[in-house]
């Protein structure tokens, strides 16, 4: 940022690092500044929500997380969004919604695990020609 103070991506990545360090205020400032320079940064609502959660601004975090559930297509981010939603709802004493959010998280996680297993099976079949193409010896089982 010293070299180019208008580098939106540098600000954004520093904001994400600030979230990981637990600095909600710094993270929010950096991510919002990056969004002013470059609107539409990937996963911005998710990261703003995480910063708001660190600041104890759960209503603001909720708004960002709900936005993510309608716009995100990255399965991992979407899963984590539902997990974070369960936390925010719990902190807001909205237990039914917290339970629904964690159930959605678990469902998405299971679906992703099933997809991974299917991909692994297909990969194994591609790697082992004997599994992929059973041989027909012409004999009938007795």
Name the DSSP class of 133. S
> Does the pLDDT at position 135 exceed 70?
no
**pTM, 2 dp:** 0.79
Alpha-carbon distance values, 95 to 7, 18, 85, 92, 102 (Å): 41, 30, 11, 8, 10
Q: Are 138 and 131 in contact (CB under 8 A)?
A: no
**pLDDT, the chain, mean:** 90
Q: Are 12 and 29 in contact (CB under 8 A)?
A: no
Distance, CA of 101 to CA of 47 (rounded, Å): 18
Alpha-carbon distance values, 105 to 33, 48, 85, 126, 127 (Å): 30, 20, 9, 32, 33
| Res 92: pLDDT | 98
Q: Are 58 and 52 in contact (CB under 8 A)?
A: yes
Distance, CA of 68 to CA of 91 (rounded, Å): 19
> Does the pLDDT at position 131 exceed 70?
no
pLDDT bucket at 141, cuts 50 / 70 / 90: very low
Task: Please report, rounded to a whole number, the percentage of residues in the chain having pLDDT higher than 90.
Answer: 73
């Amino acid at each position: 940022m010293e070299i180019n103070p208008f580098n939106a991506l540098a600000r954004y990545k520093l904001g994400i690092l600030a979230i990981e360090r637990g600095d909600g205020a710094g993270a929010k400032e950096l991510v919002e500044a990056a969004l002013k320079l470059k609107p539409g940064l990937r996963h911005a609502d998710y990261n703003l929500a995480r910063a708001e959660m660190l600041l104890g601004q759960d209503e603001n975090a909720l708004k960002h997380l709900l936005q993510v559930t309608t716009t995100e297509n990255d399965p991992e981010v979407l899963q984590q969004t539902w997990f974070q939603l369960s936390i925010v709802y719990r902190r807001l004493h909205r237990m039914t919604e917290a339970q629904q959010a964690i159930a959605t998280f678990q469902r998405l996680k299971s679906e992703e695990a099933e997809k991974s297993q299917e991909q692994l099976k297909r990969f194994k079949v591609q790697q082992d020609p004997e599994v992929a193409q059973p041989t027909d010896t012409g004999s009938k089982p007795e």
